[in-house]
Amino acid sequence: MKTTLGVIVGNRGFFPKHLCVSGREEVLRVLAEEGINAVALGPEDTPYGSVESLSDAQKCADLFKRHRDEIDGVLVTLPNFGDERAVANTLRFAGLDVPVLVHAFPDEAGKMSIADRRDSFCGKMSVCNNLTQYGIPYSLTSLHTESPSSEAFRRDLQRFAATCRVVRGLKGARIGILGARPAAFNTVRFSEKLLESSGISVETLDLFEAFGRVGRLDDADPRVKAKRDEIAAYVPTEGIPPEALVKMAKLGVVIDDWMASNALVGVAVQCWTAMEEFFGVVPCTVMSMLSNRLLPAACETDAGGLIAMYALQLASGRPSALVDWNNNYGDDPDKCVLFHCSNWPKDFLADARMDYQAIIAGTVGRENTYGTVVGRARPAPFTYCRVATDDQWGEISSYVGQGELTDDPISTFGGVAVARIPDLQGLLRYICEMGFEHHVAVNPSLVGAAVADAFGTYLGWEVYHHDA
């Protein structure tokens, strides 16, 4: 979760230089207080550690290049008007291809003489104009000008840091698809090629091959025993047959090995019904444990759902779940029931325990469906997100928004939550009109703006931000 920003301190010659000195010091102090690392020129490198001339821009770009592997984004800060060409040239010369946040200091009404006025209000527009001309995407603070010490700037800084983590994490991400798409789920079709065009690679493993690897594991294998103990420590398993727990443990070992050997950041699993009919358990607990370890695991080979889970996790640092938009909640138009059968990560749930999968037990037999993680989600603010590949238009589309998980009463099986979302009916209409899937990723945090910025501004995806 540690984020490193390159810092460009803009300067323009006929504005007060002391503002660059004090402004640079204040910005670096706030970054340190917010737990964000900084890569910035010092007064020994350029006048006041600022960027104004072509030479300054080259020096700053060279510094950024030396720290290319560390820098997640760039903060452009304007303690005075700033030189828009120098800022744009620095970013072009550095060629980092990372998110950029443009920030301007506010003037004080009592300090508008030539000795103290900043004109950063105006300079910010010039910087943005040049970045647009250079084809460099950028983000803005919530207010046009902000004091670096203000709560508004600190919130914007953390939001931007989350955006940087999402962009960096998704570019070059490798996800796994374990098994074929369930025949009954046309909804989770996706395009590997569109994902690859955004830098996201897909590694596949046939379910038959996975079961073959499971079959080679002995019950007494130390790794199987360790995974069996890990499962028992994760959720209560009273009433679960020992042979089912051993099967889960072996499956967990195989998935762990496959993900590690292929450097996968998450996995989408063919969770039914071949798993239950021919192996004899549901993979929900194994998947829940992966998600809780920040290796998101999605149901029903839902690659788009997996990517949404991972994006929310990158932004927040907390586990995500993949759930169904499942039921209305009485007559309240802004509330609904989120449900899965379930592999919710334990981080979400107040009373997680292991059980059997009630929905398909009638089809494949209860004895073949042990391994769900059931419970009620704790009340919390949350962000929801969906990613889909639109093959017809050749683009990746998404939506994101925020709400709250409530403590409204609900009595049902599986993993469940009651959610309240402002203008839920408008959101549901959008989902249906645009043909999105019934799955949605959720995360117990408020990171909607950061994720929307990452998707739309820097990854070039179509994004609908419901809160906006």
pLDDT in tens, 336-374: 999 998 999 999 999 999 999 988 998 899 999 999 999
What would the two tokens of residue 96 be? 């980092």
pLDDT (0 to 100) of residue 246: 98
Identify the helix (H) or strand (E) that includes residue 419: strand 415-420
Q: Where are the alpha helices (DSSP H) in 319-381?
A: 358-364
User: Contact at 8 Å (CB) between 318 and 398?
Assistant: no
Identify the helix (H) or strand (E) that includes residue 33: helix 18-33
HSE (side-chain half, CA atoms, 13 Å) at 324: 14
Distance of alpha carbon 126 from alpha carbon 195, whole angstroms: 35
User: Contact at 8 Å (CB) between 360 and 275?
Assistant: no
pLDDT (0 to 100) of residue 15: 81
Average pLDDT, 10 consecutive residues per value, the chain (468 residues): 94 86 97 98 97 98 98 98 96 98 94 84 98 98 98 98 98 97 91 97 97 97 98 97 98 98 98 93 98 97 98 98 98 97 94 93 93 97 98 96 97 95 98 97 98 98 96
pLDDT (0 to 100) of residue 111: 81
Q: How many CB atoms lie within 10 A of CB 347?
A: 18
What's the maximum distance between 2 C-alpha atoms anywhere in the chain? 82
* Topology of the domain comprising 3-170: Rossmann fold (3.40.50)
Does residue 344 come out as left (phi exceeding 0), alpha (psi in the -120 to 50 range) or beta? beta
**C-alpha torsion angle, residues 147, 153, 157, 159 (rounded to 10):** -160
User: Contact at 8 Å (CB) between 420 and 406?
Assistant: yes
Identify the helix (H) or strand (E) that includes residue 381: strand 380-390
Cβ neighbours for 261, distance < 8 A, ≥ 6 positions apart: none
* Three-class secondary structure of residue 263 per DSSP: coil
Does residue 133 come out as left (phi exceeding 0), alpha (psi in the -120 to 50 range) or beta? alpha
pLDDT (0 to 100) of residue 154: 98
pLDDT (0 to 100) of residue 11: 95
Distance of alpha carbon 199 from alpha carbon 456, whole angstroms: 15
Backbone Cα Rg of the chain? 25
Of the candidate CATH numbers 3.90.1150.10, 3.40.50.720, 3.40.275.10, 3.30.365.10, the domain formed by 174-465 belongs to 3.40.275.10
Q: Where in the chain is the domain with CATH 3.40.275.10?
A: 174-465
Q: Where in the chain is the domain with CATH 3.40.50.10940?
A: 3-170
Q: What is the pTM of this model?
A: 0.97
pLDDT in tens, 99-155: 999 999 999 888 877 778 899 999 999 999 999 999 999 999 999 999 999 999 999
Distance of alpha carbon 406 from alpha carbon 262, whole angstroms: 39
